[in-house]
Amino acid sequence: MYMQIADILRDRILQGAYRPNQQMPSESELMRAFDVSRITARQALGNLQNDGLVFRIHGKGTYVSRPRAFQDLGNLQGFGTSMRQLGYDTHSKVLSLRSIVPPKHVRERIACGGRVVELRRLRFLNRSPISLDVSYLPSDVGQRVARADLANRDVFAVLENDCQIMLGHADLRMGSLLATVDLCKVLGVEEGAPILFIERVIHTSVGAPLEYEELYYRGDAFQFKVRVERQAIGAAR
């Protein structure tokens, strides 16, 4: 019975009857509405929580989670391209584009000796800010990228189609941090909110490091997935 109730509530959430951050019916209200015990009502809400559709605040109740988009990290693909394939509306706003002397950690990542172009973009998903992307490119490549329509095109596409630089692979590290004041302003989150952080180095098809990126995603609205294969460690005896 609790699975049937969870399915009904799930349909209501997905159809928009319950909006993100809206409070769900309490256990007592579900008991009366479906004529079930408290444990059944609790299990139904627990199912929704396990699916990531709701979250609970102790002493206050159960609330609808904000839907989370996801990106497959197993594919080296631009954010815009990836999201449009999943049916999302996406665009970018260029916050700054400048030539700078690269910080030490950038020089180390892409082995550049001269100046670099720093590109800061705010990415939108269905018209809501989803991430802050900071990219560093060698000056000559960055100047060509700067002439492209960066509001609607991914840098990956510009590199391959306009600059004729074929991309090969990326090395990345992922972690989490708490939103700073600056991130709060651009991403529209509260100070201390969870942020998904990715540090990524893009390499050309011949293995040369080309672009260094720092990506800051809203932790309440985005997630990543990756398929991991088990490597054979030897033939069975």
Architecture of domain 2-64: Orthogonal Bundle (1.10)
Q: Read off the pLDDT of residues 6-23 as tens digits, 9 standing for 90 and up.
A: 999 988 887 888 888 889
The whole-number pLDDT of residue 71 equals 77
Structural domain boundaries in the chain:
2-64, 69-225
Q: Where are the alpha helices (DSSP H) in 51-131?
A: 79-85, 104-110
User: What's 161's DSSP letter?
Assistant: I
Q: Read off the pLDDT of residues 146-192 as tens digits, 9 standing for 90 and up.
A: 999 999 999 999 999 999 999 999 999 999 999 999 999 999 888 88
pTM of the model: 0.71
* Distance, CA of 193 to CA of 220 (rounded, Å): 8
Q: In the predicted model, what is the mean pLDDT of residues 113-126?
A: 91
* Distance, CA of 70 to CA of 213 (rounded, Å): 19
What b/e readout covers 120-148, taking b as 16+ CB neighbours within 10 angstroms? bbbbbbeeebbbbbbbbbbeebbebbbeb
CATH no. for 69-225? 3.40.1410.10
